[in-house]
Structure 1
Amino acid sequence: MQVDVQSLDTFNQLAHSGAQEATAALAQMTGIEATVEVTHITLIDRADVGGELGTGTFTGVQFDFEGALSGETVLVFEEGSTDQIVEALMPGGSADESMARSSVEEIGNIMMSGFIDGWADYLGAGIDHTPPTYIERDGANVLPEGPDAADNDQVFVFRSEIRWAGADIGFYIYMLPAYDPMAELMADQAGSEDDAIPIEKLEAFNRMTREGTKNAASNVEMMSGIETEAEVSQISFAPIEDVPKALGEETVVGTVVEFTGAPSGYLLVLFDERSGKNVAEALMPVEMDADGLTDQHKSAIEELGNIITSGFVDGWANVLQQSIEHTPPRLVHDMGKAVIDPLAAQLGQHQRHAFIIDSRMRTDEVDFESEIYALPNEAELREALDALAVERADQTEADVEEIF
């Protein structure tokens, strides 16, 4: 089965429109005006779904749906969000636990009915959903395993992030469709074969990107002596203008390189300021000459970014059996979206959409996490994937040389 950019865009817009319908329903019930910030389609290892939620406590509602499309969808509210929503719907209701839960279920039912109905209207077929189930759990545990957890180790996830004006709170909509029906729908929507990508090659490339991250983690470990783990690896698809929103306004420090070959594009190695400071001091066991991020910190981060970049790109080149070169790392220290915006604008000169490759590394010894973002040229990525030989896609965890 193949998927093309147009079908990915269609389904991304469907999910985005559904989130807007749900948000409009919230505004009609409560008067709370909210905005759908970003919607992504992501191909990710099932065990990693929801990792971006962190360790906080979330409440919400969960639905099963079946018909033209089957699966599960979850409306997830950040901690503290439901109190304001319940109060807007029913003043004094947040003080009564039973009333608060009932209100969340009612709100969720109306919001998510609009979300599901939008998909049904587009497909021209019925989709039924169960009554809402109230949930309250920590982090990724708030999300279900998915409808076919035993059959596929990778899953398509539609994720929308919604924020409302004047408050640093919001909620998320996660849709986890059954893999095979979703893949078939995407394949049915595929148009020209010129920009089509076999879905199994996306899966294989996602796994092999994890290998590149492991390679980068090994380089960090050899350089620092600190045991470093590769964690999440995922491929997301979004309109090019939405790419900066994925990084938000948190200040980051790290490096940017431009890589050339098959494909070309940009690679970012980013730390939040705390992580950057911690890992720099672990690499340089000398007393810093000032508080905050000093030139010494930045020099260490730049060197670390070079080591991570080389490991990631080399691993990627080995898998693709292509030569990939990259520029020396350029240090960046700014809001995340300010760092990535000019790169997205550069790509946007010749493409409307972006594949965002996101991997993470962490260590238990030093309090730091690092994220690796790759923004490849869309057309060149398709060409590179077309060159992959994946006759045995179910054995992609075997030795790379046996597969490619």
Structure 2
Amino acid sequence: MSNKYTSNLHIEKAKTSKIKDVDFDNLNFGRTFTDHMFICDYVNGEWQQPKIIPYQAMSMDPSARVFHYGQAVFEGMKAYKDDDGGVFLFRPKENFNRINKSCARLAMPEFPENYFFEGLTTLLNLDKDWIQPGIGNSLYLRPFAIATDSAIAAAPSDSYRFMIICSPAKAYYKGTVKVLIAEEFSRSANGGVGFAKAAGNYAAQFYPTSLAQKKGYQQVIWTDADTHTFLEEAGTMNVFFRINDTLITAPISDRILDGVTRKSLIQLAKDNNIECEVRPIKVSEIVEASKNGTLKEIFGAGTAAVISPIEGFEYKETYYELPEIGDHSYSSILKNNMLNIQHNLAEDKNGWRFEVK
């Protein structure tokens, strides 16, 4: 894929940088933002001139449809810097395709590819000093689109805003987590928007997750809405199970996000001669595997955390603890493989790395 793009991009540079005030060793995820942001409005049926401007608050009418009908989608991406100062993205075309898929599902206009990539690469070149080298360091990128039309009629908006903001990041989750398998609540349903990165999907998770946290669990493993017998996602991530030496993950559907990390891990498993099955998996299968000792690992997979190992789960008031495997775990092997590719420390056999020039 070429990384040379042209559009009538307007650039307004920040007069001073905030970077000198940032403690990169003590970052709270998603709380610190770089000097610039990308913005482009959709008016009268067309995307207008894209801009990069200093990061700042923006004014919106209280009747903007995003506040009333939830037309809002987003993506999560990361930029990495190697020891020579090179800046890289990981499979950015996948994120571009998925945000447009999300837009289509919420009756929002798709965003032009040339605007997206020129805006993204220009923004990263402006704020590249915010990307720290080294494994575990990255710049989290948040492209998103919202409805801005000032009207409270229940209909799609006539105007929209597409933006990209950037936040320096370290590891999202530290250590392992304990999870509660959902018996009542569901993340999504057939025919819904579970496959899209719609903002409302995440808002709907907060309440059941808060109930799990009161019981001492960090996240929820979601089950299907029809029967609550099939395992689907873990918190905001796709989820993998290892029974004996086989990895298993649920197939994508209306309900399950087509995660970039998920599909990359499936390929990396194949590259490492690890058997990986993509199929429906029942709660009962995992419970039985835990009881008979064949359940070796469970881990979540997503952009922010990459891989988040799970140390145990509760189901029907019973807690099941997973064995400690250490550095030979599939989660460790695959995470190291992916991080080395992302940070330009290993051969990129699958052509996933995208250099920002």
Whether TM exceeds 0.5 here: the answer is no
Please give the TM-score of this superposition, normalised by the length of structure 1.
0.29
- Between structure 1 and structure 2, the one with the greater Rg is 1
Please give the TM-score of this superposition, normalised by the length of structure 2.
0.32
Comparing both structures, which one devotes a greater share of its residues to helix? 1
